Amino acid sequence: MLVRTTLRIEKNLKKEADQLALEQDTTLQNIFNKALKTYLAKDAKKQARKIVVKTHNLGVNLDNLTRDDFYSDPKIES
């Protein structure tokens, strides 16, 4: 869906965009839409990089435990 809007841009940017549209045989509308999509995609990537994963110290590693550390010897009654 397209929406009509009015933008005020620098004169030299408009000139360059007109030239690019002519070279690529496209419209000025397509040039600005592509440029805005590219800008927004880069901005989204910057936001994604700002996510920080914090770690927490959980104490001593317990990867060397054995079964005996969890279960005591069964008591055998005679």
Average pLDDT over residues 52-73: 82
Taking Cα atoms as reference points, which of 69, 52, 68 lies closest to residue 60? Answer: 69
For residue 48, the model assigns a pLDDT of 66
Percentage, residues of the chain above pLDDT 90: 42
**Over 90: is that where the pLDDT of 23 sits?**
yes
pTM: 0.53
DSSP states of 14-28: HHHHHHHHHHTT--H
Amino acid at 56: H
Amino acid at 16: E
* Cα separation values, 42 from 20, 55, 63, Å: 21, 28, 42
For the chain, the farthest-separated pair of C-alpha atoms sits apart, in whole angstroms, at 100
Q: What is the pLDDT of residues 37-57, one digit of tens each?
A: 998 888 777 766 666 788 888
